[in-house]
């Protein structure tokens, strides 16, 4: 595990604070925000005595001994930490802003204690877009964080709405990426997923993020902010596998003038995905998918991630190590793409 010509940087690794758990418990108890997807996810993980939620919750809060030991045991040199889903995005604007700021301070302190092993992204509260932009600036300039994490929809609203674009303006100005991490489908769409237990990582997470990213692309976000960079996990939430059809049907739909909300964009969907997105392998240690995505999106745009501690499978590290690609491309996958994207 140690004889390798590259560092292993894992780029979608979760963490959480006790105060975030306490705030989730209060929401669930008081029903101050009604979201069946959030209820399904956190009623399972909070205070559940079975092994999986117990182990996940413990590891989420640890920024020292157990996390570093797990990294050592699996050959991970550095983790990029993201506040776990849905982060602060279920709360009202005032509480969300307070929790984001506190979380970023705690994360920065944890990183200061392990600077060679940990890096992180700033949590922001999109509920207050101008405040989120300021907190991103504080996180990057004052705390040394490497970008923002936004856990997809915010109380059922999506970032293609122009009221959220000050966050994009700040990220582009700071030259840092935004990681769009999944959460359960929005209240408007979660019902059919819940009926068959498909609301979480098995399916609902990916569907929700891919829908969100399509909304952002067709709304012209990257025409307005051409240098803005997004990162999405889980092998691109299936978008790379739809590239041909996305390009064809977007062009055809625009030409038909079918929707007032869909106008011609400056570039094709596939061009945005190749130029404005990095894609991580979190939860998808599967050779055919990794190599396909490297082929269609580019070896400079695909990065390794484990999805710790939700998907903590040491064998998946070796699955990446043994990919039938050159050492130079493995170094891009494990190390240099992450260093470039997040300025590590």
pLDDT for 246-292, tens place per residue? 999 999 999 999 999 999 999 999 999 999 999 999 999 999 999 99
Q: What is the pLDDT of residue 3?
A: 73
CB of 24 closer than 8 Å to CB of 30:
no
Residue 98: give its domain's CATH number. Answer: 3.20.20.140
Phi/psi at 327 (nearest 5 deg)? -60, -35
Average pLDDT over all residues of the chain: 97
Whether 92 sits among the annotated catalytic residues: the reply is: no
Domain assignment present for 230: yes
**What are the b/e assignments for 264-275, b being 16+ CB within 10 Å?**
ebeebbbebbbe
Q: Domain for residue 3, yes or no? A: no
Q: Is the pLDDT of residue 1 over 60?
A: no
Residues recorded for the chain: 344
Whether 193 maps to a domain, the answer reads yes
Q: Two tokens at 135?
A: 């907190």
Catalytic residue, chosen from 39, 223, 307, 321, is 307
Among the listed residues 115, 113, 112, 131, the one whose alpha carbon sits nearest the alpha carbon of residue 123? 131
Residues 6+ apart with CB under 8 A from 320: 281, 285, 290, 304, 330, 333, 334
Say how many C-beta atoms besides its own lie within 10 A of residue 325's C-beta: 16
Q: What is the pLDDT of residues 14-53, one digit of tens each?
A: 999 999 999 999 999 999 998 999 999 999 999 899 999 9
Asked if the structure places residue 63 within a domain, the reply is: yes
In a domain, 51, yes or no: yes
225: how many CB neighbours lie within 10 A of its CB?
16
Residue 4 in domain: no
The verdict on residue 2 lying in a domain is: no
In the chain, the number of structural domains is 1
Could you tell me if residue 35 is inside a domain?
Answer: yes
Q: Which domain holds residue 110?
A: 9-342
pLDDT recorded at residue 344 = 98
């Amino acid at each position: 595990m140690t004889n390798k010509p590259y560092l292993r940087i894992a780029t979608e690794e979760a963490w959480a604070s006790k105060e975030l758990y306490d705030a989730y418990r209060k929401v669930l108890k008081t029903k101050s925000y009604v979201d069946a997807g959030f209820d399904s996810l956190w009623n399972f993980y909070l205070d559940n005595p079975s092994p999986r939620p117990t182990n996940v919750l413990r590891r989420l809060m640890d920024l020292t001994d157990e996390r570093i030991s797990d990294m050592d045991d699996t050959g991970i040199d550095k983790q990029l930490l993201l506040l776990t889903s849905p982060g602060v995005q279920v709360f009202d604007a005032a509480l969300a802003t307070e929790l984001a700021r506190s979380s970023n301070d705690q994360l920065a302190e944890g990183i200061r204690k392990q600077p060679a092993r940990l890096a992180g992204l700033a949590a922001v509260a999109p509920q207050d877009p101008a405040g989120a932009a300021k907190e991103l600036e504080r996180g990057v300039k004052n705390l040394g964080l490497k970008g923002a994490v936004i856990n997809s929809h915010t109380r059922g609203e999506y970032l293609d709405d122009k009221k959220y674009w000050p966050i994009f303006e700040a990220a582009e100005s700071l030259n840092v990426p935004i990681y769009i991490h999944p959460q359960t489908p929005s209240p408007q769409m979660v019902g059919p997923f819940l009926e068959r237990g498909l609301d979480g990582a098995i399916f609902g997470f990916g569907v929700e993020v891919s829908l969100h990213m399509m909304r952002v692309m067709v709304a012209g976000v990257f025409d307005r902010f051409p240098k803005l960079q997004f990162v999405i996990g889980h092998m691109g939430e299936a978008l790379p596998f739809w590239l041909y059809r996305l390009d064809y049907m977007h062009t055809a739909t625009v030409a038909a003038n079918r929707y007032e909300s869909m106008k011609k964009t400056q570039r094709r969907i596939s061009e945005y995905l190749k130029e404005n997105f990095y894609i991580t392998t979190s939860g998808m240690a599967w050779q055919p998918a990794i190599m396909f995505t490297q082929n269609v999106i580019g070896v400079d745009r695909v990065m390794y991630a484990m999805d710790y501690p939700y998907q903590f499978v040491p064998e998946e590290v070796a699955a990446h190590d043994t990919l039938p690609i050159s050492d130079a491309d493995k170094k891009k996958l494990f190390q240099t793409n992450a260093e470039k994207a997040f300025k590590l």
